[in-house]
Amino acid sequence: MAVAKRVVILDYGSGNLRSAERAFARAGADVTVTSDHDAALEADGLVVPGVGAFAACMAGLKSVQGDRVVGRRLAAARPVLGICVGMQILFEKGVEHGVHTQGCGEWPGVVQRLDAPVLPHMGWNTVSAPEGSVLFRGLDPETRFYFVHSYGVREWQLTPGPGFPAPLVTWAEHGVPFVAAVENGPLMATQFHPEKSGDAGAVLLSNWLSTL
């Protein structure tokens, strides 16, 4: 019998921690919610959730040295999954109400307000996943995922160097196109909430666990 993968959901004061914990447990993970630095470093997979404002999430992340944990894990090619604002703070910068906040800088790009007639973007939406995606493996292109956000990354700015594979970027649209998910080696993230996306979210989480 296969041993369950050890997943830590990083508790830094933001995110749907219990719903994420239940979703990962249902997907077969041995899951712990903690802010413990060593546990986050040693787990097979680290999940960085996030809801609310970019600046508040970054402040919370830094308060538990989460930005350093993410950096150290990625330097050792150890998997990290960001969810919602937990994806946004992986980018270079967030701009909300004229306030510019530095993110983790794992990807270049700016998180900014969506240009849409109705905000927040709340509800179910399809996504356009690229060929070769692991996260969306086995899912129908018409599958819908659950989003709750007013901000997003509207331009993908990373150009890989020679010998490095291009990240796989999944897009969605609400008023304007925005990045819905990224698969970049050990670093993956979704703008939507897989833990609130029913059966489709469960498949995506299982697909991520299969990479650990």
CA distance 184 to 128: 17
**Between 54-63 and 66-75, two packed helices, what is the crossing angle to 10 degrees?**
80
Residue 154 CA: distances (Å) to CA of 14, 127, 128, 179:
23, 14, 14, 6
pLDDT the model gives residue 1: 62
Q: What is the pLDDT of residues 87-121, one digit of tens each?
A: 999 999 999 989 999 999 999 999 999 999 999 99
Catalytic residue among 57, 84, 104, 106: 84
pLDDT the model gives residue 150: 98
Q: What is the pLDDT of residues 48-61, one digit of tens each?
A: 999 999 999 999 99
**How do beta strands 80-83 and 45-48 pair?**
parallel
Cis peptide before 186 (omega within 30 of 0): no
Q: Does residue 124 register a pLDDT over 90?
A: yes
Percentage of residues of the chain with pLDDT beyond 70: 100
Q: What is the pLDDT of residues 139-184, one digit of tens each?
A: 999 999 999 999 999 999 887 777 778 899 999 999 999 999 999 9
**How do beta strands 187-190 and 6-10 pair?**
unpaired
CA distance 189 to 67: 15
* 104 has catalytic annotation: no
Catalytic residue among 121, 149, 174, 193: 193
CA distance 59 to 51: 13
What is the torsional sign of CA 138, 5, 182, 61?
Answer: positive
Tell me the pLDDT of the chain averaged across its residues.
96
Q: Are 175 and 126 in contact (CB under 8 A)?
A: no
pTM over 0.85, yes/no: yes
Look at the domain 6-209 and name its fold: Rossmann fold (3.40.50)
* 121 has catalytic annotation: no
Q: In the structure, what pLDDT confidence band is assigned to residue 16 with cuts at 50, 70 and 90? A: confident
| Chain centre distance of CA 57 | 13
pLDDT the model gives residue 14: 86
pLDDT the model gives residue 163: 74
Sketch the domain layout of the chain as residue ranges.
6-209
CA distance 25 to 165: 31
